[in-house]
């Protein structure tokens, strides 16, 4: 998982522990635990979330029971009359699942392109490590003025793309253009490209520098140091992370169905509103199968290239 990688990095001490640190090893954690508890109490008070709100509303208990009773026997056929010639339920589920994958793959292909570009521009490794002074005013201007400006612009762009949720991007596009499947793909691709760009750039910046230093010492240009020394060291992690995001994209793509796009979420909400709980479970299991499939695939790959 992504968090795995981040935590691995976090676990490695970056500098020797300072004796006079205000946060001793245990007390830092203690303050954080205390903060979490206080914040949770404050949040419960703000929401006015009394425990009575957990009692199902009138008819709610019955609904819960009927819904979960169908968990073990998902519908194999439609639960109401359908016009002759309608494709059987399993084919409808399969078609919705197929579209969910299509949307996710298309979105990831866009997000990867954007993420790689942003990951490159948003990392400091391609300019910050370059020999200072350089030869000539043009090069100096490039490394002291232009490159940091591009880097900063990329970081701002990444933050902007990431901080709006894909559903909100979808809602914005729906408002601006109306319903078109391409907008769903773009809506997923924008925040995903931002996230990939952020993580890729961090991976490149924190990749082991051994090969890069050796290349630089032997006189390689900055670009080859970057492309041949740094990127290959970060590549396994980048692949693993991209795959993890693919899992997330499947989920996002399914959810966009709640807004009228023809993915699994659409089928789930339609069946739920018609009280066809068996069908809901059929679609939910289809979604679980997709997510699990990608998770197994990416897990197998991760074990290969991230020791």
Partner 1 sequence: MSAAHGGSGSSSGAGPASVGPRGGVALDLAALRRTKPTSRLLRLSIVLLGLLVVWAWTAGDFDFGDLVSERRAENVRRFLGEEITPYPLRETGFDQAAFVEWAKTLWDERGRRGVAATLSIAVLAIALAGAMALLLAPLAARNLATARPFEFGAARAARGPGWRALTTAVRALLVLLRAIPEYVWAFLFLAMLGPSAWPAVLALAIHNSGILGKLGAETIENLEARPLVALRDAGATRRGAWITAILPLSLARFLLYFFYRFETCVREATVLGMLGVVSLGYWIQDARSKHYYDEMLFFVALGAAIVLLGDLVSAAARAVLRRAR
Q: Which positions from 174 through 193 interact with partner 1, judged by CB under 8 A? A: 175-178, 180-183, 185
Binding partner 1 by CB under 8 A: which of 89, 199, 212, 255? 255
Q: Which pair of structure tokens corresponds to residue 242? A: 């991209």
Q: Which pair of structure tokens corresponds to residue 213? A: 């230093």
**Smallest distance, partner 1 to C-beta of residue 293, A:** 11
Return the biggest CA–CA distance within the chain: 79
Size of the site for partner 1 (CB under 8 A): 101
| Packing angle, helices 2-11 and 231-255, rounded to 10 | 140
Q: Which is nearer to partner 1, 40 or 91 (CB)?
A: 40
Q: Which of residues 134-173 bind partner 1 (CB under 8 A)?
A: 159-160, 162-165, 167-168, 171-172
Binding partner 1 by CB under 8 A: which of 93, 106, 118, 238? 106
**Smallest distance, partner 1 to C-beta of residue 134, A:** 29
Binding partner 1 by CB under 8 A: which of 109, 221, 224, 274? 109
Is 293 near partner 1 (CB under 8 A)? Answer: no
Q: Which is nearer to partner 1, 85 or 178 (CB)?
A: 178
Radius of gyration of the chain (CA): 25
**Smallest distance, partner 1 to C-beta of residue 32, A:** 6
**Smallest distance, partner 1 to C-beta of residue 238, A:** 12
Do 70 and 281 contact (CB within 8 A), yes or no?
yes
**Smallest distance, partner 1 to C-beta of residue 206, A:** 10
**Smallest distance, partner 1 to C-beta of residue 132, A:** 29
Binding partner 1 by CB under 8 A: which of 251, 260, 270, 299? 251
- Name the one residue in this structure whose structure tokens are 């350089």: 134
**Smallest distance, partner 1 to C-beta of residue 137, A:** 37
Binding mask 28-57 for partner 1 (x = CB under 8 A): xx-xxx-xxx-xx-xxx-xxxx---xxxxx
Distance CA 271, CA 265 (A): 10
Binding partner 1 by CB under 8 A: which of 74, 103, 147, 197? 103
Distance CA 179, CA 260 (A): 8
Residues 6+ away with beta carbon under 8 Å from 252: 104, 107, 166, 167, 188, 192
| Packing angle, helices 181-206 and 231-255, rounded to 10 | 150
Distance CA 27, CA 38 (A): 16
Binding partner 1 by CB under 8 A: which of 116, 258, 260, 270? 258
Q: Which pair of structure tokens corresponds to residue 64? A: 């819960």
Binding mask 74-93 for partner 1 (x = CB under 8 A): --------------------
Taking alpha carbons only, the member of 230, 224, 239 closest to residue 207 is 230
Q: Which is nearer to partner 1, 130 or 252 (CB)?
A: 252
Helix, coil or strand: residue 28? helix
Cα 125 off chain centre by:
24
Helix, coil or strand: residue 29? helix
**Smallest distance, partner 1 to C-beta of residue 2, A:** 8
Q: Which of residues 204-233 bind partner 1 (CB under 8 A)?
A: 208, 232-233
Do 194 and 162 contact (CB within 8 A), yes or no?
yes
């Amino acid at each position: 998982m992504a968090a795995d990688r981040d935590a691995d990095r976090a676990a490695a001490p970056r500098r020797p522990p300072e004796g006079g640190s205000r946060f001793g090893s245990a007390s830092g954690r203690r303050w954080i635990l205390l903060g979490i508890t206080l914040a949770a109490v404050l949040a419960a008070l703000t929401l006015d979330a009394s425990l009575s709100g957990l009692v199902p509303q009138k008819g709610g208990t019955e609904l819960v029971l009927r819904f979960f009773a169908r968990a073990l026997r998902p519908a194999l056929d439609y639960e109401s009359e359908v016009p002759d010639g309608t494709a059987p339920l399993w084919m409808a589920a399969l078609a919705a699942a197929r579209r969910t994958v299509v949307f996710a793959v298309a979105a990831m292909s866009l997000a990867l392109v954007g993420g790689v570009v942003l990951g490159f521009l948003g990392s400091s490794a391609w300019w910050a490590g370059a020999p200072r002074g350089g030869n000539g005013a043009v090069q100096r201007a490039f490394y002291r003025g232009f490159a940091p400006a591009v880097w900063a612009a990329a970081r701002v762009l990444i933050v902007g793309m990431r901080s709006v949720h894909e559903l909100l991007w979808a809602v914005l596009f729906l408002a601006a253009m109306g319903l078109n499947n391409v907008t769903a793909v773009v809506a997923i691709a924008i925040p995903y490209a931002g996230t990939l760009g952020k993580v890729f750039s961090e991976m490149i910046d924190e990749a082991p520098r051994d090969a890069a230093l050796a290349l630089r010492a032997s006189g390689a240009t900055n670009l080859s140091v970057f492309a041949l020394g740094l990127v290959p060291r970060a590549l396994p992690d980048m692949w693993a992370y991209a795959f993890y995001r693919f899992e997330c994209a499947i989920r996002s793509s399914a959810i966009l169905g709640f807004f009228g796009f023809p993915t699994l979420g659409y089928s789930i909400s339609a069946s739920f509103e018609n009280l066809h709980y068996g069908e809901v479970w059929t679609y939910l299991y289809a979604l679980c199968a997709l997510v699990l499939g990608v998770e197994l695939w990416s897990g197998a790959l991760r074990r290969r290239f991230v020791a």
